Amino acid sequence: HSEGLIATGSNEGLIRIFTPSGGDPIHTLTGHSNAVCCMVSGRMGTLMSGSWDSTAIVWASFKQVLVLKGHTAAIWDVAILPERGYQITASADRTIRIWHAGDLLRTLTGHADCVRSLAVLSSDEFLSASNDG
């Protein structure tokens, strides 16, 4: 869309896609079974969402492409390292997971409480923030 798109996550587990001009959603994405609490846009129209249902979903052309399962608690943030093709998830289970094409590559541990936020610094670096002070 030339004017861009707006994606919203909901407590019902839905992602609604709107145009900036408003009105009803032009797409509703279903796949999560609990609140969608984080999203990030990727290249070429992809979207990645994380949920309290402990999953992350990668969407392309408004359809599920990958479902990332393995966390044991809510996913609080998601990030993409597009140059490497990595998806990153941060969870209340105190871990960060690095994925590639739906496969778990690595689980990072070390936080003593919920991992709340991720920030991408470069093509191969990111930061994490946690409740562990």
Average pLDDT over residues 35-40: 98
- Kindly report the pTM of this predicted structure: 0.95
User: Are 41 and 47 spatial neighbours (Cβ–Cβ below 8 Å)?
Assistant: yes
Report pLDDT digits (tens) over 57-83: 999 999 999 999 999 999 999 999 989
Q: Which two tokens stand for residue 133?
A: 């002070």
